[in-house]
Amino acid sequence: MSDVVPESQSPSQRLAEVLRLPFTARSGEQDYPAVRAVQSHWNELRGDRICPARAELDPKPLAHCLDVMFVAELVAPSVARLRLCGQQLGELLGMEPRGMPLSVFFNGDARTELAQALAQVAQGARAVMPLRSDAGLGQAAIDGMLALMPLSDPDGRITRVLGVLETRGPAGRAPRRFRLSAPLRMESDPRPHPFAKPAPAARAATGNAERRVEAPAGHLLPAALPQRGQKPMLRVIKGGLA
């Protein structure tokens, strides 16, 4: 059964309905062509891997998107610090964003959502976050889309994030802060990344486990971190000198 295309649509609109690409917005949704272009380029680079390497990025195919793109460093599983930024990101912030955390573009409530998304990107997932900056003094309300994709270092570890923050409308008075206008979307491959760090939930589940400390043979170490009111205990490392 074929789809019925309304006669009121233009030829280009009818063609878009027939040839809709995976990242093409559906009817009623705003389209963000720079986001789609960067996502497609990232997918081409990675092939059958979890993610491409940072060194593989080629700015030439994305010359028309560079002003809304950025590369951030994962300084912690849920914290990314901006290293390379497009011009429009500086216009949104009203200053040079390099060296600042990515969370500088978000209000307090949305920063928690961003941290959760980054924690999953550090595992090899991809995030798409629909955004909105509400109207204020000298600021018209603007919508945007943020896409986050992992990048690996020469050792294969996920240490960088390729991002694109595309907005609709003039930035107005800076700085602009964003909130989520719809639930964020995560996409991941079934196979885990070999160098990914444990997920936050997994770390929380083992938060009360014994902390192990390495020391030279024959030295005495606490058996575990003592609880309040308990005396510390010592254990001998096997293989020490007699």
Residue 179 lies in a domain: yes
Residue 50, domain extent: 32-185
Low-confidence ranges of the chain (pLDDT < 70): 1-29, 190-242
Q: How far apart are CA 30 and CA 178, in angstroms?
A: 17
How many residues can be counted in the chain? 242
Q: Which residues contact 161 (CB under 8 A, 6 or more apart)?
A: 71, 72, 73, 74, 80, 102, 118, 121, 148, 149, 150, 151
Residue 171 pLDDT: 87
Residue 91 lies in a domain: yes
What CATH number does the domain containing 150 carry?
3.30.450.20
pLDDT tens profile 189-235: 765 655 554 444 434 433 443 333 333 444 433 344 444 455 544 44
Residue 77 pLDDT: 86
Residue 198 lies in a domain: no
Residue 22 lies in a domain: no
Q: How far apart are CA 178 and CA 104, in angstroms?
A: 9
CA-based nearest residue to 103, from 91, 116, 94: 116
Residue 161 lies in a domain: yes
Residue 178 lies in a domain: yes
Domain count, the chain: 1
